[in-house]
Amino acid sequence: MSTLAPRVLIPADRLQARVAELAAAIDRDYAGSDRLTCVGVLKGSVFFLVDLVKRLQVPVAIDFFQTSSYGGGTSAGEVRIRKDLDLPVRGADVLLVEDIVDTGYTLRTILDLLRFRGARSVKLCALLDKRPARQVDVPIDYCGFPIEDLFVVGYGLDYAEKYRNLPYIGVLEESP
């Protein structure tokens, strides 16, 4: 991987404009809910989740999972919960907020767990949908941007824990 700045795929202003649109749609759909909880998956979703909830008018709680795939890769298919939620899920309207849906294994596991725990409703909001990489079907209720099967960084997404703080979504290019 190159040490050059990643090539810009989605600039910061487009990200922010799309986040505002998603927040407006969520506000409309959850108007009247007094039990909305936005659940993020650490660490990648944090930047997106914070920008999103800052724009919501509906009352909202936030909570976090941390997961890892057995075997270390993102395609191992078996997901381990390393940090569980703090808040009870039963009776809540849970909106799972994710940075990216890739194979779908992580999200499938978490969505099933939230339903099993008795959430009143469970929906998914994902900033990026890497649809060509999907292994298991995961319906996305609020999608920021569909992207190709590229490895992306920035706005929470990392490569070996680097680049999360970029304000845009970028693609790492090979050195010339």
Summarize as ranges the residues that interact with ligand IMP (CB under 6 A): 41, 44, 74, 98-107, 130, 151-153, 157
Closest CB 91 distance from Mg ion, rounded Å? 26
Cβ proximity to ligand IMP, 58 vs 143, nearer residue: 143
CB 102 within 8 A of CB 157: no
How far is 106 from 118, CA to CA, in rounded Å?
19
Are 56 and 37 in contact, with CB atoms under 8 Å apart? no
19 vs 142: CA distance, rounded Å: 10
Least distance (Å) between residue 161 CB and ligand IMP: 11
Q: Residues 51, 93, 99, 102: which is the catalytic one?
A: 102
6 near Mg ion, rule: CB under 5 A: no
- CB closer to Mg ion, 58 vs 143: 143
Q: Which does residue 157 touch among ligand IMP, Mg ion, none (CB within 5 to 8 A, set by kind)?
A: ligand IMP
Estimate the share of the chain in helix, then strand, then coil, as percent rounded to the nearest 5. 25, 35, 45
Please identify, using beta-carbon distances, which residue of 19 and 128 lies nearer to ligand IMP: 128
> Measured from the CB of residue 43, what is the shortest distance to ligand IMP in angstroms?
8
The H or E element containing residue 159 is none
Q: Catalytic annotation on 102?
A: yes
Query: Which among 111, 103, 139, 122 has a CA at the least distance from the CA of 36?
Result: 122
Binding site for Mg ion (CB under 5 A): 41, 44, 99
Catalytic residues: 102
